[in-house]
Structure 1
Amino acid sequence: MNDNFLNSANAPYVAELFYKYSQDPNSVDSSWGSFFNSLNENDLSVLGDFRGPEWKKRPSNIIDEISFDKAIIPVPNIKVDSFRTSTLDSIRTLRLIRAYHINGHLTANLDPLNLSKKEYHPELDYKSYGLTDNDLDKEIFIDGSFGLESAPLNEIIKILIETYSSSIGVEFLYIQSPDQKQWIQERIEEVRNKTIFTHEGKKAIYNRLVESELFEQYLNKKFLGTKRYGIEGGESMIPGIEQIVKQACLAKVENIFIGTAHRGRLTLLSTVLGMPYKSILSKFQGYQNDPNEVMGSGD
């Protein structure tokens, strides 16, 4: 028999039971009162989340309308202790997920040469929440996180690492707007924070990087010692900005204003904005092909 009794049908029941307990401790059975009383502040916070966010509470009155046995009818002969164990497993796992939302970027793989030793962050260790190695294969209810109602703990940890601690770190909970935070979270979790490029897409990015590098090398040799604000080390900016421009065009954006540093601006002008090489090189030779720049371009 499946020991994971907490699911999308039962979670609202537990949430409402906890809500009633928080309003009046005597309104629930003493065994549940003891259970809720044993939880710490973080556990209670996560348990409260089962009822949904403040702006979209689940419209449910399970306790008042149906009995306990009917609320958990998908699993017959349920033992209350097992149900509580499943609830605790979910609470602990949701706390782990929340910790990755906050601090997952601290363990992101941003050092491909492994020059620095990674620090241990206990808040990202599942054992810090009372979970053990024996729980790794256990199916745990996670209330729709990552589009999953439930999943084995080891799979949940794998998803968390791929999404928040891989080669791209994400730090977004400091943002004040709930809509903006939700927008970012949905987009990184939907694809596990990894863009899947087509073969042609990879070739296009490679060609753009090569084009940028060759242009920089040419300027360095042809105009040695001339102040040109090279892009060395920032080449990935070029395909990134190009993609932003393309997506803006698809979204029917009519005007784009780019405020950029001097560094890499010549490569940006030539590769992304399509400024002819002839126009760029003529300026190195002192020619002015724009009447508006007779008094200087401002650079």
Structure 2
Amino acid sequence: MPKVLVTDGLAPQGFEILGRAPGIEVVDAPGMKPAQLLEAIADADALIIRSATQVTAEVIAAAKQLAVVGRAGIGVDNVDVGAATARGIVVMNTPGGNTITTAEHAIALLVALARHIPQATASMKAGKWDKKSFVGMELYNRTLGVIGLGNIGRIVAQRARGLGMKVVAYDPFLSVEAAAKLEVELLDLDALLARADALSVHVPRTPDTRVVIALAKSAVRLAFDSITLIPCCCAIMGAFTMLTESVTGSSRPFSIATVIGATSSSAAAPQYSISIWSIAPLHSWPWKRPSFSPSTR
């Protein structure tokens, strides 16, 4: 009987689907240590993971009869795809599984930062009633810069236009004509940074991804008064330190609301401090509609 090994948390709906498949054995074993995974994978025919399990070349080599690795999510950066391909093992993902929820998560962070909701919440919890300090800015008629117009970036652009925002984008793999169909203006990175009031970054974490590095270098060269950064991708997470170092070495006032806050005692001698205004893991998932009809409400 084929064995399906599940090593990360899977939604109940996923197990229901597996349970309806005849003639397979499903082994639910989340949270295994690397040594345990090497032992468990030996007789597995299929492996289902999310982001925690690291399917290294060593794991692939230990899998004597593995035919497929299924990633319940978008990225496959935790799978050694090259080693799997060399063994004839298929690596699959679910690119449309949470694109809408991720995009909505980005918009939620954008609104929270624009209206200073995290800071206002902290102030209220401290027993203060300081409305004037947290007025924020309207998003209407502001410009959102989207870096990466893939499945998620396109939905973010669409939602932002629904808020009355102007959307510009940087994506070296997208044509001007394709961007025009999305009602998005395609720009090079420097031009985008010069115009954007907020940035939403949606690029995969790959060896070829250099957008975040360019973002840090270019942003420091530009004299922003303030900018809001919405990083909803894997690549940005490793860039916090790099962004901090870039800004610390700059002589210009600069702030990224999500990552870095700049407090300057004088224009000639700015002082920088890290301030994480709003950061949250993607905890949403496609909403399951309730099973009732209008007549039974």
- TM-score under structure 2 normalisation? 0.22
- TM-score under structure 1 normalisation? 0.22
| Higher RCO structure (Cα 8 Å, ≥6 apart) | 1
- Larger Rg over CA atoms: 1
